[in-house]
Amino acid sequence: EPEVTQTPSHQVTQMGQEVILRCVPISNHLYFYWYRQILGQKVEFLVSFYNNEISEKSEIFDDQFSVERPDGSNFTLKIRSTKLEDSAMYFCASRVRGELFFGEGSRLTVL
Amino acid sequence: EDQVTQSPEALRLQEGESSSLNCSYTVSGLRGLFWYRQDPGKGPEFLFTLYSAGEEKEKERLKATLTKKESFLHITAPKPEDSATYLCAVSGGYNKLIFGAGTRLAVHP
């Protein structure tokens, strides 16, 4: 069964460092998303991406965040200068019609 | 403001003891109500999308229903492997889901 794959599964970084989280969405999907979940809290929307551009972003998605689809298969989330409060699980998702599928997540720990 | 409230926060059931989880929502122009299962440390696993009041969908021991104000996830004769957090989310557009805090379900043998 097709699935969304994410790497790395866990990344530990120092505050102020740049981090890139990678995702391979399901191949025939056209809409891509990043969500995050701080430990013990709700899943929160970060950004949606369609037709090679951002279609919507949340207040969380400030200038420190960026997304890119560098080739036909990968979808990346970059955090330029990490903060302690960026520690969370980051989920990539992709959608076809009404079904939105999530990856297993990348756990980011900022020290 | 779009909002999702799930109840109860936690539910403990004996194996075979059927029950229902509630998801109340407010959204301007519902484009879909989603149910997911989430295991600890894992990503949400897609279960159902419901679009309009009166719609029902089933999958194994799970059945989801939708009204204009809320959705229910009915669990019939649950097994220990159904233990997980069940998440409800709504979409008022095509771009994002608004999630509830989830219901933690524990099913004991």
Q: What is the pLDDT of residues A18-33, one digit of tens each?
A: 999 999 999 888 899 9
Across the interface, do A98 and B96 touch by the CB < 8 Å criterion? no
The mean predicted confidence, pLDDT, of chain B is 95
pLDDT classification of A37: cutoffs 50, 70, 90:
very high
* pLDDT given at position B30: 87
Query: Mind listing the pLDDT tens digit for each residue in B35-46?
Result: 999 999 999 999
The token pair that represents B79 in the structure block: 């097994």
Cα angle: A87, vertex A88, A89; to 5 degrees? 145
In this model, does residue B90 exceed pLDDT 80? yes
* pLDDT given at position B89: 97
C-alpha to C-alpha distance for A41 and B50, rounded to whole angstroms: 24
Across the interface, do A45 and B97 touch by the CB < 8 Å criterion? yes
Across the interface, do A98 and B51 touch by the CB < 8 Å criterion? yes
Across the interface, do B46 and A101 touch by the CB < 8 Å criterion? yes
In this model, does residue A8 exceed pLDDT 80? yes
Is residue B34 classed exposed, middle or buried when 0-12, 13-18 and 19+ CB atoms within 10 A define those classes? buried
Number of H helices, E strands in chain A: 0, 11
Mutate to test the interface with B, among A26, A32, A43, A60 (most CBs of B within 10 A): A43
Contact list, A33 vs chain B (CB under 8 Å): 96
pLDDT classification of B101: cutoffs 50, 70, 90:
very high
Tell me the mean pLDDT in the region A84-99.
93
C-alpha to C-alpha distance for A81 and A96, rounded to whole angstroms: 33
Tell me the mean pLDDT in the region B62-89.
97
Across the interface, do A99 and B49 touch by the CB < 8 Å criterion? yes
pLDDT classification of B55: cutoffs 50, 70, 90:
very high
Instruction: Identify the CA nearest to B12 among candidates B102, B103, B89.
Output: B103
* pLDDT given at position B24: 98
Tell me the mean pLDDT in the region B32-58.
95
Instruction: Measure in Å the smallest separation between the Cα of A83 and chain B Cα atoms.
Output: 22
Given phi > 0 = left and psi -120 to 50 = alpha, else beta, which region is B41? Answer: left
Across the interface, do A100 and B46 touch by the CB < 8 Å criterion? yes
Instruction: Identify the CA nearest to A32 among candidates A101, A110, A94, A82.
Output: A94
Could you say which of B34, B46, B96 has the minimum Cβ distance to residue A45? B96
A58 interfaces chain B, CB cutoff of 8 Å: yes
In this model, does residue A2 exceed pLDDT 80? no
A73 interfaces chain B, CB cutoff of 8 Å: no
